[in-house]
Amino acid sequence: MSGHKEFARGNESLESIFEFTSEFFVRNRLDPRILPIVDFAVEELFTNMVKYGGADASPIAIEIACVDGAVEVALVDTGVEPFDMTQAPDVEVHGPIEERKAGGLGLHLVRRLVDSWDYRYSKELRQSRITFRKAFAKSQARAAASAEGGSNAVD
């Protein structure tokens, strides 16, 4: 239960990306309630790669899989310098709006919506890889474990 597809570097690819994630959810009968979270995280990470990844025209690959009671998504950007979004500082959300700095709110929200995320960079390939996981609801995790032939269902 996995999928892989490359997308042109640009915001015009977002519609195709959402079709890709939606088809994956439908094909694998996954809980549609977590799809908006997955799509939000993918959109934020993808657009940051487009914005900060440099002028290289190489596509950005998106890999999606069902792993251990969760959806795991990886975005792979090749021909770029390191840009570790997981290290972005938290955004100040409690002070007066006129005193806050612009930017960073999307990553701030991704950090709170996904269950985990990780960044890896290959200097040899000049490749950034950011991976996140979003857990299924408990009933979905049990169904996924049964479909995979697993006996370790989540309660």
DSSP string over 39-79: HHHHHHHHHHHHHHS-S----EEEEEEEETTEEEEEEEEES
Is residue 151 situated within a structural domain?
no
Separation of first and last alpha carbons in the chain: 22
The answer to whether position 152 is within a domain reads no
In a domain, 148, yes or no: no
- C-beta separation of 77 from 50 below 8 A: no
Which one is predicted more confidently, 72 or 106? 72
- Is 14 within a domain? yes
The span from the CA of 75 to the CA of 20, in Å, is 13
- The CATH number covering residue 78 comes to 3.30.565.10
Q: What is the mean pLDDT of the chain?
A: 83
Quick check: is 35 in a domain? yes
Highest mean pLDDT among 34-48, 126-140, 141-155: 34-48
Question: Domain for residue 74, yes or no?
Answer: yes
The pLDDT score that the predictor gives to residue 38 is 97
pLDDT of residue 97: 59
Does residue 21 lie in a domain region? yes
> Mean pLDDT across the stretch 55-67?
90
Q: Quick one: pLDDT at residue 152? A: 39
Report the largest interatomic distance among the alpha carbons of the chain, rounded to a whole angstrom: 54
Cα(129)–Cα(41) distance, integer angstroms: 14
Q: What does the pLDDT average to over 110-132?
A: 93
Mean pLDDT of 67-80: 93
pLDDT of residue 150: 47
- Domain residues for the domain of 95 are 2-142
Residue 73 located in a structural domain: yes
Question: What pLDDT does 85 receive?
Answer: 80
Give the pLDDT confidence score for residue 136 in this predicted structure: 87
Please count the structural domains in the chain.
Answer: 1
